[in-house]
Structure 1
Amino acid sequence: MELAAALTQSLEASELASAIAQGLDYLHQHQYPNGEFCSYFAPDAAMQEWCVHDSCIFPTALVANSLLSLAQHPQAEEMLTRTTGFLQYHMNRGGLWHHFTGLHPMRDPLPLDMDDTACVSALLQARGVDCPTPTNVPLLLANRNRQGLFYTWFVARGWNANRTHWRITLPRLARPLRNLLLWRSVEATPGDVDPVVNANALYYLGDIPETQPVIAWLLRLIAEHQEAGCDKWYPDPHVVYYFLSRNYSRGITQLEPARQPVIDRIVAAARPDGRLGNTVLDTALAICTLLNWGAQPPELRPAVQFLLGAQQAHGEWPRWLVYYGGAKKLVGWGSEEMTTAFCLEALARYQAIIS
């Protein structure tokens, strides 16, 4: 029996190493020379009706964040180095980022945002990059409402003592008609306060006095079973679980009350074929979430086996929408590169605990 178990473990380790190597090859071959990774927007979750390339900052930041788990691989390190330069190039005044690159027609009309800024800042911090200099933390903390929660957008509103905030937001007031048309044409408002955006701000800023309202809000959402649809950009609860759990793995232990409820809900969604949820993307995010919480339930190994079996011929995993363009979910963004990155993160994290 011991020999059989050892052989099984050796075979599994070999399968993991092969899948990770193929996935890294795929991403390495598909990264653009400037460090960006491909993203598409589409009107359906499976991205099969139509699919259009969209040049965005956020997908590249998400792919790179997943690659941090594989930084010991030369290919991953090379991709991370390219992406770091890409993200630094797109930094705006004050150390803020935009959802779209400079090539996109919506780059100028849409304001700078908290989600991209927090995720990119956290990634650069993890890479040991002193960027921005000086820190953008005061500017982020100045972009909160009276309840201490972070606004999604950096726009002029009420009184704000931060001078950089006004240097960034005042020029937009010079074009009121454009601003009016913008907010009427998108599923967003200047006063948006979104849970996952706040979770990502927490991930960057950490457990400090100013982020305590965010922690309390996130705990309340889980306690009240509001994770599905609580955020207009992230309606899938598996995505919400993933971003929430990253904070716990980063040392924000005040989120402990959410740990077991989230684990239980993920396990309850296990399917006979090993899936955790409905899709490959759900499964990859769920595996990462379980490991972020330090959980290794019996459903974990079948989920990993499901991912191994779902890998495509060229080393990729199928595209699926990761985040949406608003509450009505008319379009969303995803790509093979994004799904593949999440799958690689899940496999690499699992590989680390069995080796």
Structure 2
Amino acid sequence: MKKLVGSAEILVSRAGEDRDFRERLLASPRETIEKEFGVTLAGDHEIHVHQETYNATHLVLPPPGKLSEAEREAAKTGAASLEFLRKTMYDPAPPLRPPAVERTTPGERAAASGDLAAAGRESIRRGLDFLGSTVDENGAWSCIRFNIADPNIPRHFERPPFVSALCVLALECSEEPQAKALCAATENYLVDTIEFPGLWRYYRHLPPDLDSTALCSLVIAAHPWIFLERNFPPILANRDEAGRFMTWVLAEDEPDVVSRFRIEADPVVNANVIAYLGDRPETADAQRWLETLVAEDGVDGSSKWYPDAVAIYYAIARAMVRAPTALERLRPILADRILELHAGQEGFGNILQTALAVSALYNVGSLERIDAKCETERIVSSQREDGSWPELLAFGDQELKWGTVGQIGHGAEAVTSAFCIEALERLVEILKAG
């Protein structure tokens, strides 16, 4: 496995060998870095390069934390209480809306359709119009937290950075102007919520987590902290003895209510971290673990946070695209595993599962193995008049009970819609090529 040298290491090494480059890096760090790597860094973030001498030493202090001392303490202890849940709730969410009614089967509609690619493109634009009306002006995406077992327990909106990053990564494949505008707005929101040296929290009253950190880092890859890999050390330090990445980035003095999470290595979290860190020696153990899970058909029940196998396969397939050469041995096996989930007229399950399966198959180069017309019709026909797709369980805590609140699930029409748009972009590409 090839060792990837970090961008900061490259700069220091080059400056040590090339005096002219050193002088340019000291005088114009942003321009020099952008020219060296062919990138455009985030525009409003200053970059300073300091040179130590034999009689001058520079001690660089991190920025002050964004949380107060009381908030930091709450992040350690609040997860056990209902007060914690109240603090993370926003406005009450409306009741779950029923899905769109389908009057014919996908196969019948596919046979009767004319230009399915055009219909798919129109569906994408309607979906983006819906998202434009629901995403906050500051770029934050809303998700709904609900009780899996009891729909009568009140539902509430939440706006964690993780959800925004998750949805924007799905939209990045679209060349539609509105998709690009949504992505740009969300990038700004993720910059506003970053904590040094490049970590994010799902809630302000929880510790930072690697799921949020990996996805947010992928979205704002041009931010200097991310581009210069400032968050690599805390991520790499958050592995268990088997080399798998743990979900929570915890201080050593965390109380038992939180520290028990530390033993958990989630396959989706590990796939997301691999997508960000890439194919390097430090991710080799996590890659082998995921390869074994998939090869031995052991993903069912392996994830604490993600409800079904297709969500796990989707994350692994995305990692294969985001981190070329990582998990490459899984490509043919992963396609077979995804196709095993297809159940004839029922497809891959609900419309969110279908969208995830379509995009995962595209990412492993096997989308031609399914009926693109049928799946396009399935997704288009499930879209509501307002351009949305139905709210479905996207992720959630499938095991723990939070007192009287019960099992917590997360999903939203906007989340389902983002994944359906991604799938339609892939399907339209195949339809136009065929």
TM over 0.5: yes
Deviation at 1:257, TM superposition (A): 3.6
Partner amino acid for 1:36?
A
2:238 aligned residue (140, 143, 147): 143
> Alignment partner for residue 287 of structure 1, among 341, 358, 363?
358
Aligned equivalent of 1:123 = 219
Equivalents in 2 of 1:241, 1:47: separation in Å? 28
CA–CA distance in 1 between the matches of 2:369 and 2:358?
A: 10
Alignment of 1:106-185 (within 5 A): 107-108=204-205, 110-125=206-221, 128-132=222-226, 134=228, 135-157=230-252, 173=253, 179-180=255-256, 182-183=257-258
Please say if residues 359 and 422 of structure 2, whose CA atoms lie closer than 8 Å, have aligned partners that are also in contact.
yes
1:337 aligns with 2:337: no
- Alpha-carbon separation, structure 2, partners of 1:137 and 1:346: 31
CA distance in 2, matches of 1:266, 1:37: 28
Give the structure 2 partner of residue 61 of structure 1. 165
Identity %: 32
Residue 191 in structure 1 maps to residue 263 in structure 2: yes
Matched, 1:31 2:103: no
Question: What does residue 348 of structure 1 align with?
Answer: 425
* SS of equivalent residue, structure 1 residue 315: coil
Deviation string, structure 1 residues 265-296 (Cα, Å, up to 9, x no partner)? 332332443621x2011000000011011001
Cα distance change on mapping 1:14 and 1:48 into 2, 3 Å: farther
In the aligned structure 1, how far is the partner of 2:121 from the partner of 2:287?
37
Show the 5 A alignment for 1:1-355: 11-44=115-148, 50-70=154-174, 72-100=175-203, 107-108=204-205, 110-125=206-221, 128-132=222-226, 134=228, 135-157=230-252, 173=253, 179-180=255-256, 182-183=257-258, 189-273=261-345, 275-276=347-348, 278-295=349-366, 296-328=368-400, 330-355=407-432
Where in structure 1 are there 5+ consecutive unaligned residues?
1-6, 101-106, 158-172
How many residue pairs align between the two structures?
A: 315
Q: Which residue of 1 aligns with 2:68?
A: none
8 Å contact from structure 1 (residues 183, 189) kept in 2: yes
Q: Does the aligned pair in 1 maintain the 2:123–2:387 contact within 8 Å?
A: yes
Q: Which moved more, 1:41-50 or 1:289-298?
A: 41-50
Query: Is the CA contact (8 Å cut-off) linking 2:276 and 2:322 kept in structure 1?
Result: no
- Which amino acid letter does the alignment assign opposite residue 272 of structure 2? N
CA distance in 2: counterparts of 1:148 and 1:265, whole angstroms: 25
Taking structure 2 as the reference length, what is the TM-score of the superposition? 0.68
Matched residue type, 1:146: E
User: Residue type matched to 1:317 in 2?
Assistant: W
Q: Deviations over 1:51-77 (max 9, x none)?
A: 32123121111111111011x221111
Larger radius of gyration between Structure 1 and Structure 2: 2
SS at 1:324 equivalent: strand
Q: Aligned pair in 2 of structure 1 residues 141, 336: CA closer, same or farther (>3 Å)?
A: same
CA contact (8 A) 1:317 1:336 kept: yes
Runs (4 or more) in structure 1 with deviation over 6 Å come to 7-10, 45-49
Letter in 2 for 1:345: E
* Counterparts of 1:254 and 1:94, CA distance in 2: 25
Q: Letter of the aligned partner of 2:173 in structure 1?
A: S
Q: CA deviation at 1:140?
A: 1.3
1:150 to partner: Cα distance: 1.3
Moved more, 35-44 or 134-143: 134-143
Aligned-pair CA distance for 1:312: 0.8
Please give the per-residue CA displacement for 1:89-134, whole angstroms capped at 9, x wherever unaligned: 111121100012xxxxxx23x2111110011001112xx3434475
C-alpha distance after superposition, 1:176-226 (max 9, x if no partner): 6xx34x439xxx523322221111100001101111111100000012211
Preserved CA contact (<8 Å) 1:267 1:299? no
Q: Which runs of 5+ in 2 are unaligned?
A: 1-110, 402-406
* Equivalent position SS for 2:224: coil
Query: For 1:251 and 1:46, how far apart are their aligned partners in 2?
Result: 40
